[in-house]
Amino acid sequence: MTGLPSDEALTETGLAPDARTGRILLLACGALAHEILALKSANGWDHMDLTCLPAKLHLYPDRIVTEVEKAIEKHRADYDQVFVVYADCGTGGQLRAACDRLGVDMVEGPHCYSFFEGNAAFAAKAEDEMTAFYLTDFLVKQFDAFVWKPMGLDRHPELRDMLFGNYTKLVYQAQTDDPALTDKARACADRLGLTFERRLTGYGDLAVALRALR
């Protein structure tokens, strides 16, 4: 798969539903599609199918729980297991509660920045990084669509200091070792007036969670 998921749901299908045995549905945020497909391909996880909800739900966390619930009910009869590839993502524990109620599991962590870094490592740094702003590969590629424009900076660049005045650095959590993305992430930091730090995190606890599925 090339490119990035659009607002339309992105689906990779495997066997027909009536032929599936021991199959797992990964129900994920569209912002994670590229990473999940890369892990599936690298590990030969042909028993896993991927369905993504629109990445722009990232901007409206109050809608995530309802959309995940609807997707679980739509697909669960066709699979032996549904695994939700969202962290808490600003739902205040409501997504975990919904998954528990529906009998499905999900990725651990407060957000994708945490599980890409590794939840334990991210928590250990949290107190020292209260003023860090994080970007992943996806958010570097989609910086204008998911950061610059939603915050109104395309129309009112003078808001930058008000919105980012309490931040001191931009941390780019690189899932892939791509010099072009690093250059773009550095440019994002410059646009926000922040110092730049790059960490090659890889897939972190996302890979651990998917590898543990049976």
d(CA 29, CA 92): 17
- Quick one: tokens of 21? 């045995």
Q: For the residues of the chain, what is the DSSP string, one character each?
A: --S---SS-EEE--S-GGG-SS-EEEEEEGGGHHHHHHHHHHHT-TTEEEEEE-GGGGG-GGGHHHHHHHHHHHHGGG-SEEEEE---TTSTTHHHHHHHHHT-EE--SSSHHHHHH-HHHHHHHGGGGTTEEEEEHHHHHTHIIIIITTTTTTT-GGGHHHHHTT--EEEEEESS--HHHHHHHHHHHHHHT-EEEEEE-TTHHHHHHHHT--
Q: What is the pLDDT of residue 9?
A: 39
Residue 11, pLDDT above cutoff 70? no
Phi, psi of 108 (to 5 degrees): -80, 150
Give the residue carrying structure tokens 């970007």: 135
Tens digits of residue pLDDT in 86-116: 999 999 999 999 999 999 999 999 999 999 9
Between CA 69 and CA 78, with CA 82 as vertex, the angle to 5 degrees is 95
pLDDT in tens, 116-146: 999 999 999 999 999 999 999 999 999 999 9
Task: Grade residue 15 by pLDDT with cuts at 50, 70 and 90.
Answer: very low
Give the pLDDT of residue 18. 38
- Of the candidate CATH numbers 1.10.10, 3.40.50, 3.40.720, 2.40.330, the domain formed by 10-107 belongs to 3.40.50
Predicted TM-score (pTM) of the model is 0.87
- Per-residue pLDDT tens for 23-75? 999 999 999 999 999 999 999 999 999 999 999 998 999 999 999 999 999 99
As annotated, the residues of the chain forming the CATH 3.40.50 domain(s) are 10-107
User: What are the pLDDT digits (tens) for 150-199?
Assistant: 999 999 999 999 999 999 999 999 999 999 999 999 999 999 999 999 99
- Res 84: pLDDT: 98
Altogether, the residues listed in the chain come to a count of: 214
